[in-house]
Amino acid sequence: IPADQPTEKRSLDLGGAALATLAFGSLAYGLTAMNAEGGGMMAGPAIVAGVVLLFVFILYERWQREPMIDLGLFRIGAFAGANLATFFLYFALSANLFYMPMVLIAGWGLSSAEVGFIFLPLSTSIA
């Protein structure tokens, strides 16, 4: 298959990249800080800032000539449905990867090394 040659020069959406990084970084910090001692005070403001920045990112991308992602794609049912299904798939996978080791260690009495070996094929296939 021959390589596609770009028909026009495109610029990098640095503003969108910065907003997305700040939004998701704030959300991630807020969600992880909720459990930390003393860090819980910053969790709420960080989550609120992340949600606001995510909203600003969406507005910013709607008005860009060359956005990071064309938000009009989400009007296509198949595209939106596939993204929603992928979200729930990875949510379920993450929940399993989080809780299953705890069940195997606390519930079944396996050692951490045994659990690591059990998850080794899955981890290798994901990587």
In this predicted model, what pLDDT tens digit does every residue of 29-79 receive, in sequence order?
998 888 877 667 888 999 999 999 999 999 999 999 889 888 999 999 999
The torsion angles phi and psi of 113, rounded to 5 degrees, stand at: -65, -40
pLDDT of residue 41: 84
Residue 4, Ramachandran bin (φ over 0: left; ψ between -120 and 50: alpha; else beta): beta
In this predicted structure, what is the pLDDT of residue 36? 75
Mean per-residue pLDDT, 108-124: 93
Q: Is 73 exposed, middle or buried (0-12, 13-18, 19+ CB in 10 A)?
A: exposed
| Phi, then psi, of 69 in degrees rounded to 5 | -140, 135
Q: What percent of the chain is modeled with pLDDT above 90?
A: 64
CA angle (51, 64, 26) in 5-degree steps = 20
